[in-house]
Structure 1
Amino acid sequence: MKKKLEDYDLHASCPIRNVLDRFGDKWSILVILLLGEHKTAMRFNEVAQTIGDISQKMLTVTLRTLEADGMVVRKHYPEIPPRVEYELTELGKSLLPYINGLAQWAVKNYDTITKSRKKFAARKQLVS
């Protein structure tokens, strides 16, 4: 077991940590799912309105991060008013089956997880 842990101890050189850290936030997976389901490019405001509870700043940060990782392509059209659209790259599309699997698992197990959280919280209150 120790050998396996040593393989992952250097964060910068560990592909699992390095890549998955980028998806550990609240919004990246939702944005990828949304762009993947939409099939065509989406405007910034479309993405924001569809997600609903994401701030403009957080959506900007999330889209830039996904663009930096090569998951999303940003297209700027020099029009008045300016138009900016986002869509998944081939790399982003290749991630969709895995994210969809995780999303389906989350939906399937949501009730069980919610019940477990409530039981855990009740146990903690009894101990406190």
Structure 2
Amino acid sequence: MPLTRRSLMDAIAERFGSYRVYDDPTDIDALLTAQSETAYTEAGDHAALATKKNHDALAVQPGVLDVRGCILADVLYLEGVLTGARNRGLPPELIERLEDVVDHGHELTVLLADTVRATATATAQVSSSN
């Protein structure tokens, strides 16, 4: 199914409080591929934009903070999914995968917080050397 049609169908389902589910591995692989292609297409030339915009350490900070906030919100959502999966006795392999994702997500938010702190530290070091 074309991505535009799937996206429209997903948007309609979401508007009515439900989501489409996929049980065919071929459909899942196609969806994952489409998600990746869309993300890379929408990303454009981030390197050139970031090089132009991020003239010092503090200029990096807002973007990193934004990404951390989005990831943290998603990880907390996935914690709820994990709790629901445990409470419903869903397959152990699914629960293990969700645990891995949640743990990794929390680790990523810690790394991003450390990166935000590094922007301020780098700025302080530059200021004190001047």
Whichever structure has more helix as a proportion of its residues is 2
Q: Is TM-score (shorter-chain normalized) higher than 0.5?
A: no
TM-score (norm 1): 0.30
TM-score (norm 2): 0.30
Determine which structure has more spread, i.e. the larger CA radius of gyration.
2
Whichever structure has more strand as a proportion of its residues is 1
If asked which structure has higher relative contact order (CA below 8 Å, sep 6+), I would say 2
